């Protein structure tokens, strides 16, 4: 299965895109938290989004994160991986954090 970025690059879009940008409204949300620098590699975030999306579409966590679990098994750290996986249930802050740690 190709990554989202790869798939987007394969799809031809009409001139101006599928939906013109001027059809969107910009909304600024200020929660008082200043983000100065991202602390998770964008590639890792992309994989986490992919795996968590699979889970929201019905895939069980063990299958969605099977590659990560196999890697943990290979380095005899499966117990840590399974502990992280246990708390990945929904799209909560804990689930996203544990998904990134597991990856």
The predicted-structure confidence for 13-35, as pLDDT tens digits, reads as follows 888 778 888 888 998 888 887 77
Reading the block at residue 72, the tokens are 């943990």
Within 10 Å of residue 3's Cβ, how many Cβ atoms? Answer: 13
Domain that holds residue 68: 40-103
Split into its structural domains, the chain has a count of 1
Domain for residue 34, yes or no? no
Domain for residue 102, yes or no? yes
* Cα separation, 63 vs 15, whole angstroms: 39
Domain for residue 35, yes or no? no
pLDDT at 103: 92
Question: Could you tell me if 52 and 96 are in contact, meaning their C-beta atoms sit under 8 angstroms apart?
Answer: yes
Domain for residue 16, yes or no? no
Domain for residue 15, yes or no? no
Percent of the chain with pLDDT over 90: 50
- The pTM of the whole model exceeds 0.85: no
Domain for residue 83, yes or no? yes
Domain for residue 70, yes or no? yes
Domain for residue 72, yes or no? yes
* Cα separation, 31 vs 67, whole angstroms: 35
């Amino acid at each position: 299965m190709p990554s989202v970025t790869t798939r987007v690059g394969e799809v031809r879009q009409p001139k101006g895109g599928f939906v013109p940008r001027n059809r969107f409204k910009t909304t600024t949300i200020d929660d008082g938290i200043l983000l100065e620098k991202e602390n998770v590699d964008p590639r890792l975030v992309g994989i986490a989004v992919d795996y968590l999306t699979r889970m929201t579409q019905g895939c069980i966590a063990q299958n969605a994160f099977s590659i990560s679990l196999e890697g943990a098994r290979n380095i005899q750290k499966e117990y840590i991986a399974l502990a992280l996986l246990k708390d990945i249930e929904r799209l909560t802050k804990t689930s996203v954090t544990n998904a990134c740690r597991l990856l």
